Amino acid sequence: MKILQLCHKPPLPQVDGGCIAMHNITQGLLNSGQEVRVLAVTTPKHPVKTDAFPEEYLQKTHFESVFIDTTPKIGTAIGSLFRRQAYQISRFYSKEMADKLTRILTSEPFDIVHVESIYMTPYIPVIRKHSKARIVLRMHNIEHLIWERLASNERNPFRKWIYKTNCNQLRRVEEHILESVDGYMAISDPDFTYFSTTTPDVRGTVVPFGIDMKNYEVEDDYIPSEKPSLFHIGSMNWSPNVEGMEWFLDEVWPGIHEQHPELTFTLAGRSIPASILQRHDPNVSIVGAVPSANEFMLDHDIMIVPLLSGSGIRIKIVEAMALGRVVVTTSVGAEGLSVENGKHLFIADTPEEFLSVIDKCIATPDICTIIGENARDIISVKHNNSIITGKMLDFYQQTLNS
């Protein structure tokens, strides 16, 4: 099968969950013997770094990219708020990208054009015009839900209005865009339920985020220290991560620190904003980007993911669970994961619940070992990349046969 994968950012380096998800799809397809070509948008936020691409990857995928300045332009952004156009999506379109896509499509045939995320959907007309390939759209999130939740948590009236407007624009796109493709893959069961309800006549399936467990090997079962260290790692140029971390530091950490003054909390991630960097919370260390996310997670004990907004699957949670780490997250953070609270991870939605979980982990360290083992087991079954790739290929074939 010959597949063209269109990405809204370079899959490498794997600087955030979206990059990891796209790269793992590529690797899964290549490992299964498919022919894959990758074309990506590169932006100021996600530039191409040539040294991040192994030569073998470049040869196999014939990787190409087109730079688009997606930096929000105030005048255009504000103007779009008064139109039905979703600026969050339209800023990813450029004539240069459309021309390069046209050149590729007219020079070689493809069976499937795999479109990564709603942000690449402006190129669907180009694909239809120049190719007979089936179009499969990978929905990474319910994008409008992220903005809806941000709006519900926002106190500033102007920001709330902006978030609500973005939410409504993206909802309109999501309600109709699936009608223009031959099939779609939702990343989680809740997402599929939403899309299958809004567009019931379009072929769809659930293809969750997959990982290669060989990349998440641990030497021994997790045994927490007497003074376990708390940590968080995630890209801090994503609004829900910033919102959640500010809430945690404001509302949750003071109570934990008062009850357990020996505990530490370490925050890692790219693009940490000044609103967090300039804080001076007790026993909180901010380390920014780290060379290896896996090594960082293995150096600490309990992962804190205090998401209040968001959609889809939190990939760093999957990775931490694959490494046998204990994860404490909110109901929003656990959405889309086939997990049981208190068995595979802990769910806490209030400061009191967070403190209760931390108390439990410290009072009964053995429970952390059990949770870590259960976490690895469930991830190895539900998020095994080879199994997921097989399911994806089956869906491709169904789409080709329809």
Q: Is the pLDDT of residue 293 over 80?
A: yes
- pLDDT exceeding 70 applies to what percent of the chain? 95
CA dist 396 and 399 (Å) reads 5
169 and 58: one domain?
A: yes
E strands, 154-245, are 183-186, 204-206, 230-233
pLDDT digits (tens, 9 = 90+) for 297-332: 999 999 999 999 877 788 899 999 999 999 999 999
172 burial (CB, 10 Å; 0-12 / 13-18 / 19+) is middle
Beta bridge partners of 266: 231, 285
Q: CA 296 from chain center: how many Å? A: 19
189 and 313: one domain?
A: no
Q: Which domain holds residue 238?
A: 214-382
Give residue 78's identity as a one-letter amino acid code.
I
pTM higher than the cut 0.85: no
220 and 206: one domain?
A: no
Query: For residue 224, what pLDDT is reported?
Result: 59
CA 208 vs CA 14, 198, 383, 400: distances in Å: 18, 20, 7, 21
pLDDT digits (tens, 9 = 90+) for 129-178: 999 999 999 998 888 888 788 888 888 888 888 888 888 888 888 888 99
69 confidence band (pLDDT: 50, 70, 90): very high
CA dist 166 and 145 (Å) reads 10
Q: Are residues 105 and 39 in contact, defined by beta-carbon separation less than 8 angstroms?
A: no
CA dist 307 and 312 (Å) reads 12
Q: Is the pLDDT of residue 79 over 60?
A: no
293 and 396: one domain?
A: no
Query: For residue 76, what pLDDT is reported?
Result: 53
Strand-pair category, 346-347 with 302-305: unpaired
Number of folded domains in the chain? 2
26 and 62: one domain?
A: yes
Query: For residue 359, what pLDDT is reported?
Result: 94
Higher local confidence (pLDDT), 99 or 80: 99
187 and 218: one domain?
A: no
29 and 109: one domain?
A: yes
pLDDT digits (tens, 9 = 90+) for 366-393: 898 899 999 999 999 999 999 999 999 9
pLDDT digits (tens, 9 = 90+) for 265-275: 999 998 899 99
232 and 286: one domain?
A: yes
Q: Is the pLDDT of residue 354 over 60?
A: yes
Question: What are the DSSP calls for 364-400, one per residue?
Answer: -THHHHHHHHHHHHHHHHHSBHHHHHHHHHHHHHHHH
Residues whose CB is less than 8 angstroms from the CB of residue 99 and which lie 6 or more positions away in sequence, other chains included: none
327 and 262: one domain?
A: yes
CA dist 52 and 38 (Å) reads 15
356 and 229: one domain?
A: yes
Query: For residue 321, what pLDDT is reported?
Result: 95
Query: For residue 223, what pLDDT is reported?
Result: 60
Q: Are residues 308 and 331 in contact, defined by beta-carbon separation less than 8 angstroms?
A: no
310 and 356: one domain?
A: yes
292 and 249: one domain?
A: yes
CATH of the domain at 324: 3.40.50.2000
Query: For residue 237, what pLDDT is reported?
Result: 83
